[in-house]
Amino acid sequence: MFCKNCGDEVKEGQMVCLNCGFGPTKNNNFCHHCGADSVEGQIVCIKCGFEIKPSSVHDIYINEVKYELMKPYYQIEFRKIEETNEIYNGKFNWSAFLFSWMWCFTKGLTKQAFTVVVISIVTMGIGLIVMSVYLGANGTKLYYRVCRGEDFWF
């Protein structure tokens, strides 16, 4: 991994670049994957083809609605998740816990919503309890990741 601010090599999960003191995912001066030059707004690295993600949560768009229009709760939580390089999971998300798959649907977590429904049916409801607790604990981060345009399961 390479620091997106100065291009110096950083370890996976490292919170601060020892060369420049920035968070390694701040700014978009260099590709996070190969260290090649990149600029703000660039979509893929022209050297390695790696997708260049938005440098900050301020660049996040959800269904054409700007990040600034999101609920303050998520703005604050997303900022904390970003600042800790996704080590912080977000506060326990009671909406995600209580509404599980329905919550997933409203947050654009479509694959996850279907998975929760299927697991619930297969396990005759027992899986739903497990999944609800999981979503409560991790829901905010899953939502953060989907807002960043990541493609993932859990």
| 51 binds Zn ion per the rule CB under 5 A | no
Give the sign of the dihedral formed by CA 81, CA 85, CA 88, CA 89. positive
Give 59's DSSP letter.
G
Helix axes 110-122, 126-147, angle to 10 degrees: 170
Residue 113 tokens read as 């919503």
Exactly one of 16, 20, 128, 133 binds Zn ion (CB under 5 A); that residue is 20
| 5 binds Zn ion per the rule CB under 5 A | yes
In sequence order, what are the residues at sequence separation of 6 or more whose Cβ sits closer than 8 angstroms to the Cβ of residue 73?
none
| 45 binds Zn ion per the rule CB under 5 A | yes
For the bound state, the minimum distance from the C-beta of residue 12 to Zn ion, rounded and expressed in Å, comes to: 15
For the bound state, the minimum distance from the C-beta of residue 79 to Zn ion, rounded and expressed in Å, comes to: 20
Q: Which residues bind Zn ion (CB under 5 A)?
A: 3, 5-6, 8, 17, 19-20, 31, 33-34, 36, 45, 47-48, 50
